[in-house]
Amino acid sequence: MDVSINVLVVDDFATMRRIVKGVLKELGFKNIVEADDGSSALQELKKDDFGLIVSDWNMPKMTGLDLLKAIRADDKYKNIPFIMVTAEGQKDNVVEAIKAGVSNYVVKPFTPDTLKEKLEKVLS
């Protein structure tokens, strides 16, 4: 797993960004950028090359699902691994995210080990 990549963490709650960042740092990632919703994430994507996006689903202005769809529709970003970290664990949500091209799906709350395992799968 290449830990030198830039990672974009997207969540409207600072608490969850902090928890996700904590796990990423434990795994050795150093280049972590935060955004508080999908539209600010798209602005961040323009500034640098990212090797991974970890995003919440429910956010104001632009949801994680809309962000995922926008990324998969854009030739510049469509191959970036995208992990959805969300409180929405209902079947319809998971199916919708898979259809939109999500790389993996983590239901909140999660243990650090669960997130690590999903990150390793996506980045190996």
Residues that bind another protein (CB under 8 A): 13-16, 18-19, 22, 58, 60, 86-92, 107-111
Closest contact distance (angstroms) between CB of 92 and another protein is: 8
> In angstroms, what CA-CA distances link 57 with 5, 6, 9, 42, 90?
23, 21, 12, 15, 12
Q: What are phi and psi of 104, to 5 degrees?
A: -160, 170
Measured CA to CA, the distance from residue 124 to residue 110 in angstroms comes to 21
Tokens of 56: 């919440």
Closest contact distance (angstroms) between CB of 11 and another protein is: 9
Closest contact distance (angstroms) between CB of 22 and another protein is: 8
Question: Given the complex with another protein, which of 33 and 94 has the nearer CB atom?
Answer: 94
Question: Given the complex with another protein, which of 22 and 74 has the nearer CB atom?
Answer: 22
Question: Given the complex with another protein, which of 75 and 92 has the nearer CB atom?
Answer: 92
Measured CA to CA, the distance from residue 96 to residue 85 in angstroms comes to 14
Question: Given the complex with another protein, which of 22 and 101 has the nearer CB atom?
Answer: 22
